[in-house]
Amino acid sequence: MECNCIEPQWPPDDLLMKYQYISDFFIALAYFSIPLELIYFVKKSSVFPYRWVLVQFGAFIVLCGATHLINLWTFTPHTRTVASVMTIAKVLTALVSCVTALMLVHIIPDLLSVKTRELFLKNKAAELDREMGLIRTQEETGRHVRMLTHEIRSTLDRHTILRTTLIELGRTLSLEECALWMPTRTGLELQLSYTLRQQNPVGYTVPIHHPVINQVFSTNHAVKISPNCPVARLRPAGKYLPGEVVAVRVPLLHLSNFHINDWPELSTKRYALMVLMLPSDSARQWHVHELELVEAVTDQVAVALSHAAILEESMRARNLLMEQNVALDLARREAETAIRARNDFLAVMNHEMRTPMHAIITLSSLLQETELTPEQRLMVETILKSSNLLATLINDVLDLSRLEDGSLQLDLGTFNIYTVFREVLKLIKPIASVKKLHVSLSLAPDLPEYAVGDEKRLMQTILNVVGNAVKFSKEGSITITAFVAKPETLRDSRAPEFLPVPSDNHFYLRVQVKDSGCGVSPQDIPNLFTKFAQNQSTATRNSGGSGLGLAISKRFVNLMEGHIWIESEGLGKGCTAIFIVKLGIPERVNEYKLPYMPKMPTNHGHTAFPGLKVLVMDENGVSRTVTKELLMHLGCDVTTVGSSDECLQLVSHEHKVVFMDINVPGTDSHRITSRIHEKFAKRNERPLIVTLIGNTDKLTKENCMRIGMDGLIVKPVSLDKMKSVLSDLLEHRVLFEGI
């Protein structure tokens, strides 16, 4: 039969063929199930980049399976269709498989690299984990340190700081023992100062120059030391395995090391030793982070200790200062009280002593004027002389004490030098002529006529020096010379401290008084200016005086920035007293009021207040006439009235001053004053109201001020007094004479 079939190669019921048939079947089954599995699992997983490959692979496998499946039919005779289908399937399979094989060449390396990357990432993850672990531990440590620092720095008390450190460290690191060794005063030993377990450790000491200790001190890291080291032998023996021990140095910053601008050097240091011991039998080891923690804490402790030290120091300094302040204040108050007491005493003595003296002198001189028998006259003269002497003495003593405490100040003013010398001469001539001494005065032509200085005290000084010359000379002559000192001659070998500085506004006046008296021996010269010291060798009983004169003169000369000294060749050879004082040069003589101007002639009064319109009210005719003449003499335009009514009628704003002569101060003056005030509302239109009164007391003065008067003058009024009163009044618009 022509069936167009293809015969299989082998007979169909061969055993081998049977096995092939079964295998093909299973292959086909497997080949069909693999892609299904693949699809299922790929669908499950979301990450599979090679879908296209899968499809290819699936196709390849499916086709392979199809081939094997179709192969089943080839075991029995089969039609040509089956054979062609078989062929197509095989061709397709071949195609796909080749393509797949080609594709796989690219894909498999990729897949392999994925694997390596996976491995790499896993390693990285492990590494990161490790690092995370480290960071966490460090953070822990940092937290511990911060906490410890907080504890430590929360107090400024040294002991608390150290104790807290040990306690906290012990707690954080779970230490068995923690100890602090401080250097002793000598610096040669370390003494156990604080421990964790024992409250007050008995003083163990360890010499500082132990190799282990040196090792620890040489670095700022925590160093592991052997538990057998002397500093570590703190625990009771009998443990199996002592825990590891670490020691670290604690820098003790000495206060003197601190300068504000530069940091202390770290070389010259004192260190304390901190020893930390892990619990025994724990097999714990010191970890790096724990050591770092210890080091960080130690640094903080050092800082905290230095702060505490600074605070202690400043507290101590402050307390000291406060004490000193209190003491100084007390001393000052005492000194002030003393000075006040002294001044009060002086003031009282001044007044008390001067008043009777004055009375004695006045009455004695009055007595002299009366009729006296010669004996009486002699007695009165003696009384007068003695009391004058006493008055001078009192003045001198009071002056000197004021000079001593520096409360004396010069009264500067412009004065005529020539006048001063002439006055001195006038005063000294009588005594000199009695003693038959010749006094001559020579003033240099270049000596300025006017100078600025304390005229009274300069005269006192000159008088004292000349007086001494006269006093100590029994015969001969006294020569007084005065000239301007030249700068070259100003420096004197005898007075090395005296350094005059010439300037444009000042000149140095040099006065030399030479006498031919008893002289002074060289060794006595330094004592001359000492208070109360008198030359004993000469007959000083007759000369009198207190010995203060030269001392006071010296003080005055010093105040005038000058120098005074005495030269003498010896006893019996006379002596020369020389002094130099600094005087000012007046700028323009006209500007200053010259106090010793001669009295102004009466004609001068006419131009004093030309045309000043004044009103005089006085009930007493004589007194009225006198006052009118007085004021007319000063150039005023005077209107007089005899009663208060007339006064009120006539007073106008043209009158600048109203003089009221009040015989009886009281309602009348009150009335007039208030009426005038009412009449002239504006202050500058109102005439000034002045009352003339015979005698007055404080109450009257106050009353006058109260009722609105501008001034009060006490009669009798001289021409000069009226003149000065008027000028003061017009200048200041008020004048109340002091009682």
Partner 1 sequence: MDVVNQLRRQFVDYSTSLHREGILDDQFTQLQKLQDENSPDFVVEVASLFFEDCEKLINNMGRALEQQQGVDFKQVDASVHQLKGSSSSIGAMRVKNVCITFRSFCEAQNREGCLRCLQQVIHEFSLLKNKLQTLFRLEQQILTAGGSIPVIE
- Of 268 and 602, CB closest to partner 1: 602
d(CA 295, CA 250): 9
Cα 339–345–351 angle (5° rounding)? 135
Which residues sit opposite 245 in a β-bridge?
A: 225, 277
Using the rule CB under 8 A, which residue among 632, 705, 714, 734 binds partner 1?
632
Using the rule CB under 8 A, which residue among 12, 133, 595, 694 binds partner 1?
694
Stretch that binds partner 1, among 81-89, 97-105, 543-551, 613-621 (CB under 8 A): 613-621
Does residue 363 bind partner 1 (CB under 8 A)? no
Using the rule CB under 8 A, which residue among 1, 240, 718, 738 binds partner 1?
718
For residue 630, what is the DSSP state?
A: H
Rounded to whole angstroms, what are the CA distances from 525 to 257, 576, 698?
Answer: 57, 11, 54
Rounded to whole angstroms, what are the CA distances from 306 to 401, 602, 613?
Answer: 56, 89, 87
Does residue 613 bind partner 1 (CB under 8 A)? no
CB of 626 to partner 1, least distance (A): 5
Omega cis (within 30) before 716:
yes
Cβ 548 vs Cβ 530: under 8 Å: no
CB of 691 to partner 1, least distance (A): 14
d(CA 261, CA 254): 16
Rounded to whole angstroms, what are the CA distances from 237 to 179, 228, 605?
Answer: 17, 11, 121
- Order of strands across the sheet with 657-661? 637-641, 613-618, 657-661, 688-693, 711-714, 735-736
CB of 500 to partner 1, least distance (A): 44
Cβ 64 vs Cβ 17: under 8 Å: no
Residues 6+ apart with CB under 8 A from 31: 61, 62, 64, 65, 66, 68
d(CA 639, CA 614): 6
Using the rule CB under 8 A, which residue among 1, 664, 681, 699 binds partner 1?
664
The CA-based dihedral angle spanning residues 605, 606, 609, 615, taken in that order and rounded to the nearest 10 degrees: 100
Does residue 715 bind partner 1 (CB under 8 A)? yes
User: Using DSSP, how many helices (H) and how many strands (E) does the chain show?
Assistant: 16, 21
CB of 369 to partner 1, least distance (A): 9
CB of 328 to partner 1, least distance (A): 58
Does residue 109 bind partner 1 (CB under 8 A)? no
CB of 644 to partner 1, least distance (A): 16
Does residue 620 bind partner 1 (CB under 8 A)? yes
Q: Provide the 3-class DSSP secondary structure of residue 735.
A: strand
CB of 690 to partner 1, least distance (A): 17
d(CA 406, CA 207): 65
Cα 733–734–739 angle (5° rounding)? 160
Does residue 570 bind partner 1 (CB under 8 A)? no
CB of 735 to partner 1, least distance (A): 20
Stretch that binds partner 1, among 148-156, 414-422, 434-442, 629-637 (CB under 8 A): 629-637
Does residue 362 bind partner 1 (CB under 8 A)? no
- Of 66 and 641, CB closest to partner 1: 641
Does residue 401 bind partner 1 (CB under 8 A)? no
CB of 682 to partner 1, least distance (A): 34
Cβ 608 vs Cβ 723: under 8 Å: yes
Stretch that binds partner 1, among 100-108, 261-269, 571-579, 621-629 (CB under 8 A): 621-629
CB of 655 to partner 1, least distance (A): 22
- Of 568 and 696, CB closest to partner 1: 696
Does residue 644 bind partner 1 (CB under 8 A)? no
CB of 726 to partner 1, least distance (A): 15
Using the rule CB under 8 A, which residue among 626, 650, 714, 734 binds partner 1?
626
Cβ 517 vs Cβ 574: under 8 Å: yes
CB of 697 to partner 1, least distance (A): 16
d(CA 562, CA 509): 9
Stretch that binds partner 1, among 196-204, 308-316, 502-510, 614-622 (CB under 8 A): 614-622
**Amino acid making up residue 259:** H
The closest alpha carbon to 564, from 647, 462, 418, 635, belongs to 462
d(CA 466, CA 514): 9
- Of 290 and 618, CB closest to partner 1: 618
Cβ 689 vs Cβ 675: under 8 Å: no
d(CA 150, CA 534): 80
Does residue 646 bind partner 1 (CB under 8 A)? no
- Of 310 and 632, CB closest to partner 1: 632
Using the rule CB under 8 A, which residue among 105, 434, 539, 622 binds partner 1?
622
CB of 667 to partner 1, least distance (A): 15
Footprint on residues 579-608 left by partner 1 (CB under 8 A)? 602-603, 606
CB of 344 to partner 1, least distance (A): 37
Stretch that binds partner 1, among 95-103, 528-536, 625-633, 683-691 (CB under 8 A): 625-633
For residue 389, what is the DSSP state?
A: H
The closest alpha carbon to 212, from 173, 249, 183, 184, belongs to 249
Using the rule CB under 8 A, which residue among 236, 598, 716, 738 binds partner 1?
716
Cβ 248 vs Cβ 298: under 8 Å: yes
Q: How many CB atoms lie within 10 A of CB 232?
A: 21
CB of 732 to partner 1, least distance (A): 25
- Of 440 and 667, CB closest to partner 1: 667
For residue 4, what is the DSSP state?
A: -
Cα 680–685–688 angle (5° rounding)? 85
Does residue 443 bind partner 1 (CB under 8 A)? no
CB of 627 to partner 1, least distance (A): 8
Does residue 621 bind partner 1 (CB under 8 A)? yes
Residues contacting partner 1: total by CB under 8 A: 23
Q: Provide the 3-class DSSP secondary structure of residue 626.
A: helix
Site string for partner 1, 530-569 (x = CB under 8 A): ----------------------------------------
- Of 186 and 602, CB closest to partner 1: 602
Using the rule CB under 8 A, which residue among 548, 578, 630, 707 binds partner 1?
630
Q: Provide the 3-class DSSP secondary structure of residue 326.
A: helix
- Of 369 and 446, CB closest to partner 1: 369
Stretch that binds partner 1, among 144-152, 345-353, 637-645, 657-665 (CB under 8 A): 657-665
Query: Which residues contribute to the site for partner 1 (CB under 8 A)?
Result: 602-603, 606, 619-623, 625-627, 629-630, 632-633, 661, 663-664, 694, 715-716, 718-719
